[in-house]
Structure 1
Amino acid sequence: MPFQFEHLRTLTTLVDEGTFEAAARRLHVTASAVSQRVRSMEQGTGKVLVQRTNPVRTTAAGDVVLRYARQVLLLDADTAAELRPDSGDGRVSVPLAVNADSLSTWFLDALADLPAETGTVFEIHREDEEHTTSLLRSGTVMAAVTSNPEAVQGCTVAGLGAMRYRAVCSPEFDARHLGGRADPELLPQAPVVNFDRRDDLQDRFVRESTGRDPAGPRHYIPASEDFARTVLLGFGWGVVPERQCAAEIGAGRLVELAPEHPVDVRLYWQRWNLRSPALDRISEVVRAGAATRLHAF
């Protein structure tokens, strides 16, 4: 079933903006026109593509069409860039999914190596590395940093490296809660810092170190740099990216709880299996950046 190009652009804009009114403002049309275009696509497919919630959400059928729409728009931008390299017509917005710790420690540095003349702009979706693949499946993003080595349908996967974490606490916290000797056996009852309610790195560390379940008070700090600072300030202990805590460990501002047992999280790059110069260049700089900033596995 053929789709009109403007209808495909309208669908991606609607999903990105979240409401018919916001999409209309970005497209310089009326909200009624946006609604009519989406309804036309639904009539053509015989399926509901968008749930009229606030913000809107795509249905399973909508996910399929959304992936197709983003692929068409990406190929259109790539073609314009090759035919008219100096016109600026090939500027494309590339949505990516990245976990917060990668975003704060190495990913942006890698993207910065992308030549400015490519004209690429990014929409970064911050999501836990165990859940970024759901954004690939829905068509929300074109590529993702993930801990899942199994390729999502229609995607390719490549290993990036292991992100290393260290279990740490402040010296004052150690004195109050861990006997002044950074005793892992005391961790199950000690206050702990979690990124959010899906963060299980600390729980896994306790179980592997002591064989017991953690039962201490919990702080939830859903921002990578603030998480590390919360641990540094002594609110609780936590598993912090090595790149965020190595200097503090060396200076004695943090105490490492198990120096011989770092926590490594393997990361992978999943991207649409689509020949695209823009997506190829992004993948190249991400893989190159990871090679110099992550641990090999």
Structure 2
Amino acid sequence: MLDYKLLRALAMVCQEGGFDKAAKRLHLTQSAISQRIRQLEDQLGSPLIIRGNPPQPTAMGQRLLAHYQQVAQLESDLRGEISLPRQGEFLPLPIGINEDSLATWFIDAVAPLALSRNFTLRLSVDDQDETHRLLRDGLVLGCVSTRSEPLQGCSAVYLGSMDYRCVASPAFAAEWFPDGLRSEAIAKAPAVIYNEKDRLHYRFLEEQLGITHHDFPHHYIPSTHAFLGAIAAGLGYGLVPQPQVAPLLAGAAALDLRPEAKSPVHLYWHHWDLKTGAIKELTETLVNFARGRFGK
């Protein structure tokens, strides 16, 4: 039988990104954390962590983390059903989220639930095409993703679509796109892209303009706030969520370079296939909020 004291040590190292941080969370020494994980590895006869910076779970470690998250959730559900005292503790909810959703709607959606149920949010931010990896690795209970197909043992619920606009500052548009978004200008004009994982800009060029070459200058700005700031400052043009860029468009501080193109990104909520407790409440909260915000 698995020793969940040892499993918790493994989970904390992966969630906190290091042995020292895990030790502080569990009020143990770093040596004690290392010993617990080594003991678990000895019992299972397999390495569970790639000891890098930060530590990463192996394939076996990922399976154990997924199991631990589900057991922890089931235990929390049981406490609620039989009214066991929480001893003043808050229940942590590890969630994978993309930064655009975090900046535009997610906190509004979950804040009432977190406040009423003493949940603490443990958010891991990644590109919306990549957050499902956090769920697969057992690091989160659920995630917002652009992928529609659920992982094995998980469910996926469609939330709705968030429109993106291709925008630039008026001065940038006048300098680089005086005749509109033409292929020749796009090959020379600097673009603003979130990071190397972000495919949204490339999909926009392919779907809206039929441009398949990716040989153009571009900035990587991996911050939602700084991303829009870079565009407003004239560093380049890029795809920005409609709710975020609307004030700049209304004030003529930014121009929509392709007004007829909304470039929707479809969002799905993926979660472990548990039908009670925090996951059920969180799923219902997100779906209900999405109906109002996205017109689901």
The verdict on a shared fold, with TM-score over 0.5 as the criterion, is yes
Query: For the structure 1 residues 115 and 34, does the alpha-carbon distance in structure 2 shift closer, same or farther, using more than 3 Å as the test?
Result: closer
> Which residue identity lines up with residue 241 of structure 2 in the other structure?
P
Contact 1:74–1:276, Cα closer than 8 Å, also in 2: no
Give the count of matched residue pairs.
294
1:16 aligns with 2:15: yes
CA contact (8 A) 1:78 1:276 kept: yes
What aligned pairs does 1:132-151 form with structure 2 within 5 A after superposition? 132-151=131-150
Correspondence list, 1:1-297, <5 A: 2-84=1-83, 87-88=86-87, 91-114=90-113, 116-179=115-178, 181-185=179-183, 186-212=185-211, 213-296=213-296
CA distance in 1: counterparts of 2:208 and 2:54, whole angstroms: 43
> Structure 1 residues 45, 89: CA separation in 2 closer, same or farther (over 3 Å shift)?
farther
Distance in 1 (CA, whole Å) between partners of 2:209 and 2:275 is 49
Q: Deviations over 1:4-62 (max 9, x none)?
A: 23222222112223333332232222333222322222232222212232322211011
Cα distance change, pair 13–66 in 1 and its aligned pair in 2 (3 A): same
Which amino acid in the other structure matches residue 278 of structure 2? A
Q: Aligned partners of 1:117 and 1:205: how far apart in 2?
A: 40
Identify if the C-alpha distance between structure 1 residues 166 and 90 changes in structure 2 by more than 3 Å, giving closer, same or farther: same
**CA deviation after TM superposition for structure 1 residue 170, in Å:** 1.3
**Distance in 2, Cα, partners of 1:54 & 1:198:** 20
Tell me, in whole angstroms, the C-alpha distance in 2 between the residues paired with 1:17 and 1:125.
10
Deviates more, 1:256-265 or 1:21-30: 21-30
SS in structure 2 of the partner of residue 125 of structure 1: strand
Distance in 1 (CA, whole Å) between partners of 2:43 and 2:85 is 37
Equivalents in 1 of 2:20, 2:255: separation in Å? 52
Q: How far apart are 1:295 and its partner, in Å? A: 5.0
Q: Cα 1:280–1:75, aligned 2, differ >3 Å: closer, same or farther?
A: same
Q: Which secondary structure state, in structure 1, belongs to the residue aligned with residue 187 of structure 2?
A: helix
- 1:66 Cα shift? 0.9
Shift in CA distance, 80/210, structure 1 to aligned 2, threshold 3 Å = closer
Task: State the alpha-carbon separation in 2 of the partners of residues 232 and 124 from structure 1.
Answer: 28
Query: Offset at 1:291?
Result: 1.8
Counterpart of 1:160 in structure 2: which amino acid? L
**Structure 2 counterpart SS, 1:114:** helix
**Partner Cα separation in structure 2 for residue 52 and residue 187 of structure 1:** 43
Matched-pair contact (CA < 8 Å) for 2:76–2:277: no
| Aligned partners of 1:80 and 1:90 also within 8 Å | no
SS in 1 for 2:113: coil
TM-score relative to the length of structure 1: 0.91
* Aligned residue type for 2:239: V
| Identity between Structure 1 and Structure 2 (%) | 35
Task: Say if 2:96 and 2:124, in contact at 8 Å, map to a contact too.
Answer: yes
Structure 2 CA distance, aligned partners of 1:18 and 1:182? 46
For 1:70 and 1:57, how far apart are their aligned partners in 2? 16
| AA at the equivalent of 1:159 | Y
Q: Which runs of 5+ in 1 are unaligned?
A: none
Distance 1:279 1:90 in 2: 18
SS in 1 for 2:231: helix
Give the alignment's Cα RMSD to 1 decimal. Answer: 2.0
5+ residue gaps, structure 2:
none
Amino acid at match of 1:64: R
